[in-house]
Amino acid sequence: MQVVSNVDWTKDKSIYDNFFKWHPRYNELLMKVQKLEVRDITLVVSDFDDTLYWRYEQLQSVLLAANRWKDWNILIEEKLWWYKICADRFFDSSKLVWKIVEKIRNNISLILSAWIEEYQNYKIENVWLDDLPRVIVGNHLDKPLALLEYLIDELWFIPSKIEFYDDRAEELLDDFKKLSSLLNNKISVFKVMLDKMKFGSMEELTY
Ligand SMILES: [Mg+2]
């Protein structure tokens, strides 16, 4: 027998109005999310840049540092050969990254990254994570709604628990709280702080 989620978004509808009423799929998503089955499964969701992928050297490189705020995207596009060859050099091998990768490998998981899809694909495919489902959004702040769409369009169920890892997690905390309320599940949000020379650190923002 299918267990339909106990989502009762109508009682606090204003919360979700503020969250994503502007979204072109607002009504459709609200209708569909109520019909999803809740499964006792943990979904691990991780950002890529500066969470699994150390960008410090990349940003410090003479070539990119001098052009970052100018024609950075154009430069990277022209130098994709260089970018691809060097990609694995930037993959941080600190214990913290491997701890998150272990979580990713031991659960169903999703790489939820922001920026230009083509560039992110180049990097992800070069650091041995290309077998994982991935969603790349244009804007970091779109991640909570992109996750909602992923559950509805791709996963077709609500995981009872979601763990989210991101170096800019604090910017998404409010929206993830609203998403958790909408899904009637538990979303644990972790801020990741990489440090290549040390272990790095992680802070849970939800508890
Ligand atoms: Mg990041």
DSSP string for 139-188:
SGGGHHHHHHHHIIIII-EEEEEEEEEETTGGGGHHHHHHHHHHHTSEEE
Question: Which pLDDT band, with edges at 50, 70 and 90, does 49 fall under?
Answer: confident
Question: Which pLDDT band, with edges at 50, 70 and 90, does 83 fall under?
Answer: low
Residue 9: the pLDDT is: 59
The boundaries of the domain holding residue 78 are 55-90
175 alpha carbon to ligand 1 midpoint, in Å?
Answer: 17
161 alpha carbon to ligand 1 midpoint, in Å?
Answer: 22
186 alpha carbon to ligand 1 midpoint, in Å?
Answer: 22
- Do 33 and 106 lie in a common domain? yes
124 alpha carbon to ligand 1 midpoint, in Å?
Answer: 13
Closest residue by Cα to residue 127 from 99, 165, 101, 96: 101
How far is the C-alpha of 15 from the C-alpha of 131, rounded, in Å? 36
57 alpha carbon to ligand 1 midpoint, in Å?
Answer: 15
Please give the tally of structural domains in the chain: 2
Residue 125: the pLDDT is: 78
**95-112 confidence digits (pLDDT tens):** 788 889 899 999 999 999
- Do 62 and 49 lie in a common domain? no
Question: Which pLDDT band, with edges at 50, 70 and 90, does 1 fall under?
Answer: very low
How far is the C-alpha of 156 from the C-alpha of 152, rounded, in Å? 5
